[in-house]
Structure 1
């Protein structure tokens, strides 16, 4: 029986790719590891940020939608992204950095039992820096040495992801019964679930909230991808999803990984994605993220695609 070894990536909507690139590389110090397009809508940029190679579990990805309106916050949505930093001292460093760059942020607090610093990007996307406190992270996460952030305080990768739902038990059942997540804590309106016992890099925080569903826009989260090691495991989970009564996209070749999508009974969009082949499939490590990379099936339309995209750094 297979288990889920953590998060793979998380995907959001941005209105402006250039502004997005500046924030996530210059302010947060992440590496842009892939500049490509939405494979289902090639006129749209798809940007990935992460560690040296965009390892599974470090990837933040954004679809550029220039016409995106304001997000109207609500329930039945993925609502916060946790990012792990090495220590409590890191949170103090980041608080000073956010003040320097005029980033909207709160005071250092506690989130899901760990010291944390909530903040927002320029489009209102809600993120939280989480003190990893020296705990284990996947051994293949590799730091990017050209980061603008001091080495001792760089973002390590994804941590707890918050999902807000109208009916908590429904999504909790999906996490526990379908994927085998362990229920760590549970109250009437909140629960914490881990795919790897004791580790934040595979943690999901569920919160119950009544009211209208979120209306997505700039700064909203489109989907959460959870990680599987290879295509064999992906096909196993495809069958499990089907046996639990959920309709899925079926396995799709995303060129840099294989994946499938499904919505749970609260309407939350989950992706299940493989570790490989990875972003070095069509790039050297040194050149990652610098040029527009296209999957093989779109390469013949490069001139047409590039003509419709606004250049970014």
Structure 2
């Protein structure tokens, strides 16, 4: 058995070495996103509208969902880092694009048709943000400078949030005469666990900086600058990517499921999952490595 496991491990190292040679390979072909592979099994997704400070237009909403749906099913991807190119992480909603939406809405005279149009449009935005949560791969947000409006929606749907010292955050929707409608009001209370602070931030649209974001639990680590932030996020992603993808992805799915279910329902869910997954080669190989103090196992693609 040990001999077979050594052969399997050797084969997996060969796969890992091949992946290493694919380091920094670009992928995707998106208009508003830049996707690279800085480490084996680690994908880096950048919001890539720097001239518009990565503001969310219709194309970005759609491409973001398509990208995360694709990566969720990509066996070469185990962890995703998301950041923003240029001066800011994101300026939030692209108001010019929103004006176009207003013009399209005005083309409908009947209220039922206006409502149907708005329902479809808002659902696209909601599903775009939710795609980070439903993606089975862990998502690490790396925030620098401004993270406004839709940016807060985006990072609260991710698994882990890092930022640079110059980062600042703002739930701006009330300042443009609307209530946040793509995830902040649902996820931010669960992320920071302080309803008083959540309501203050959402009612006032005030800015809050990296130190306050760290103290309230929105952010788990602050870096000196953007370069060290991206480096730290990729290093964390690389560490996670070397773990069993069976274990990591099941862990994420169970955490997400348990957020909206009772403790017992969450326990029932993972019990059913592990009836299958504890028979995986990942469990056997990891246990053997721990028991023998041997080399770190290299896991096959999932």
Query: Who wins on radius of gyration, i.e. which is larger?
Result: 2
Alignment TM-score, normalising by the size of structure 1 = 0.21
**TM norm structure 2:** 0.22
Question: Larger relative CO (CA 8 A, sep 6+): 1 or 2?
Answer: 1
Higher helix share: 2
Q: Which structure's residues are more often strand, by fraction?
A: 1
